[in-house]
Amino acid sequence: MTDRYAVIGNPIAQSKSPLIHGAFAKVTGQDIDYTKLLAPVGGFAATLDAFRAAGGRGMNVTAPFKLDAFAYATDLAPSAQMAGAVNALKFEGDKVHAQNFDGVGLVRDLVHNLACPIKGRRVLILGAGGATRGALLPLLAEHPAELVIVNRTVSKAQALAALAQQHQSGKVPVHAAAYADVAGVFDVVLNASSSSLTAELPPLPPSVFSPDCLAYDLTYGKGLTPFLKLAQQAGVTRLADGVGMLAEQAAEAFAWWRGVRPDTSGVIQQLTVPLV
C-alpha cells in the first residue's frame, strides 16, 4: 500500500521537496506518494487534520507554518524544542511527533559532504533568527573552539548565546556581537541571516575570513550571493550554498519516516546551481 506524505507551506509552488523525496523513494525502493499542500494562512490545523484523516503518514513543514506545527504537535523532540519550530511531522494514531532537522542537515553537509570539520575551529554565524536557533545544538555537538553569533540587534544574539550556554553547560564558549565588533578571524562563516533572500550585503568586515575559511550561505539556488561575493573578494576559495543542507535535512526526515537513509549525492548534484 502506498503511504502518503506531503510538504505544507504558503506559498508552496517553489518547493523542491517532492522532487527530493521522489528521488529518495526511487533509490531506496520505498512505496510513497509525496505531494505539495498549499494551506491558507490561519488554516494550518484544518489542512493537517484533513490530511491525517485521509491517511497521511508524515509531513515536511515550510514557511510560514513552522511555529504552527510546533503548537500542533503532541510530542516535541529536543531539536524542535531548542529551535522553537518544527520542520517535520510524523503521525501515529493520535500522536503527532515533531522534529527539526535543519541543524542536523547543516552539520552533515559541512562535515561529510564538504569535508569541513567543526571540532576545534572558530565558527561565526550571521543572524539570530530561527535558522540559527535550530543550528546551535548540532554545531556545538561538534565541539568547535568557539561559536560567535552576530546580529544587527545584539540583544537577540545575546539571548541565543545564553540559551546555547544553558543547553550545553558551557562546554563550548558561545558569544554574541554586533557586526562592527566581530574580532579575529574564523575558520567557518555561516550566513543564516535573511540577507541573501533580498540580495543584501550583510555589514560584515572582510577581515573575519581566515585564508582557508569555508564561507557557507544557508540560502540555496541564488548563485553567488552578496555574502559569498564578499568572501570571495576577501580571498576565500571555499564557497558553498545551502543545497546540501536542504538535501541532508530531507534525508533525515525520510529516514525518520521510513527507517532507511537515502544517499543524497544524486539530489545535491541535480539541484546545485553554480556559484558564479
Q: Measured between alpha carbons, how far is residue 49 from residues 5, 57, 93, 224 in Å?
A: 13, 12, 12, 41
Residue 112 per-residue DSSP state = I
In this structure, are residues 79 and 137 in contact, taking their beta carbons and an 8 Å threshold?
Answer: yes
Q: Is 66 a catalytic residue?
A: yes
Catalytic residue among 36, 66, 95, 171: 66
Residue 190's nearest CA partner among 155, 214, 174, 162 is 214
**CA–CA distance, 122 with 130 (Å, rounded to integer):** 21
Q: Please, what's the b/e burial string for 257-269 (b: 16 or more CB within 10 A of its CB; e: otherwise)?
A: bbeeebebeebbe
Q: Residue with C-alpha cell 579575529?
A: 184
Active site residues: 66
